[in-house]
Amino acid sequence: MPTLWAQTSTFHNIAVGDDLPILVKFEFRMPIPDGAGALAISQKEEPVDTEKLTGYVKELLLKGFPASSVNSAATTIDVEISTEFLPGDTVSLSGYVVSKSDETAPPTVKCKITVESEKGASLAEGRAEVSF
82-125 pLDDT, tens digit each: 999 998 899 999 999 999 999 988 999 999 999 999 999 999 99
DSSP 53-104: HHHHHHHHHHHHS-HHHHTSTT-EEEEEESS---TTS-EEEEEEEEEEESSS
In a 3-state reduction of DSSP, which class is residue 130? strand
> How many Å apart are CA 115 and CA 125, to the nearest integer?
6
Beta bridge partners of 68: none
* 40, containing H or E segment: helix 38-41
**15, 22, 41: which is closest to 30 by C-alpha?**
41
pLDDT in tens, 18-30: 999 999 998 766 6
Other C-beta atoms closer than 10 Å to the C-beta of 49 total 12
Comparing CA positions, the residue from 129, 52, 64 lying closest to residue 89 is 52
List C-alpha distances in Å: 50 to 31, 54, 58, 124: 27, 6, 12, 10
- What is the CATH number assigned to the segment(s) 11-131? 3.10.129.10
Mean pLDDT of 57-76: 96
User: Domain coordinates of the chain in residue numbers?
Assistant: 11-131
pTM assigned to the model: 0.86
Beta bridge partners of 97: 111
